Amino acid sequence: MSCDFLSLARPGVQKLSPYVPGKPVEELAREFGLQAQDIVKLASNENPMGPSPAVKAAIAAALPELTRYPDGNGFALKQALAERLGVATDSITLGNGSNDILELVTRAFVGPEHEVIFSDHAFAVYPIVTQAVGAKAVSVPAKNWGHDLVAMAAAITESTRLIFIANPNNPTGTWIERAELEAFLAKVPERVIVVLDEAYTEYVETDDVPNGMDYLAQYPNLLVSRTFSKAYGLAAIRVGYGVSCAAIADALNRVRQPFNVNALALAAALAALQDEAYLIESRRLNRAGMQQLEDGCAAQGLSWIPSRGNFLAIDLGREAAPIFQALLREGVIVRPVANYGMPNHLRVTVGLPEENQRFLDALKRVMLRG
Ligand X SMILES: *Cc1c(COP(=O)(O)O)cnc(C)c1O
Question: Binding to ligand X by residue 229, rule CB under 6 A?
Answer: yes
> Of 109 and 228, which has the nearer Cβ to ligand X?
228
Which of 292/349 has CB closer to ligand X? Answer: 349
Rg for the chain, CA atoms, rounded: 21
Region near ligand X per CB under 6 A, out of 94-102, 142-150, 264-272, 321-329: 94-102
CB nearer ligand X, residue 180 or residue 322 = 180
Piece of 54-62, 149-157, 229-237, 356-364 that binds ligand X (CB under 6 A): 229-237
Among 150, 151, 155, 235, binds ligand X (CB under 6 A): 235
List CB contacts of 88: < 8 A, sequence separation 6 or more.
82, 246
C-alpha 238/C-alpha 97 separation (Å) is 4
Q: Is 97 in the site for ligand X (CB under 6 A)?
A: yes
**CB 226 → ligand X: shortest distance, Å?**
8
Which of 47, 119, 170, 221: binder of ligand X (CB under 6 A)? 170
Q: Name residues contacting ligand X, limited to 306-365 (CB under 6 A).
A: none
199 near ligand X, rule: CB under 6 A: yes
Q: Which residue is nearest to ligand X (CB)?
A: 97
Give me the least distance between CB of 270 and ligand X, in Å please: 16
| Of 2-10, 207-215, 226-234, 330-338: span binding ligand X (CB under 6 A) | 226-234
Minimum distance, C-beta of residue 99 to ligand X, in the bound complex (Å): 3
If binding means CB under 6 A, how many residues of this protein chain bind ligand X?
Answer: 14
Asked if 47 interacts with ligand X (CB under 6 A), we say no
Of the pair 151, 235, the CB lying nearest ligand X is at 235
Q: Report the residue number, 172 or 330, with the smaller CB distance to ligand X.
A: 172
User: Apex CA 167: angle with CA 161 and CA 173, to 5°?
Assistant: 130
> Minimum distance between the CB of residue 102 and ligand X, rounded to whole angstroms?
7
Choose which of 74, 240, 296, 331 interacts with ligand X (CB under 6 A): 240
By CB under 6 A, tell whether 98 contacts ligand X: yes
- Contact residues for ligand X (CB under 6 A)? 45, 97-99, 123, 166, 170, 197, 199, 227, 229-230, 235, 240
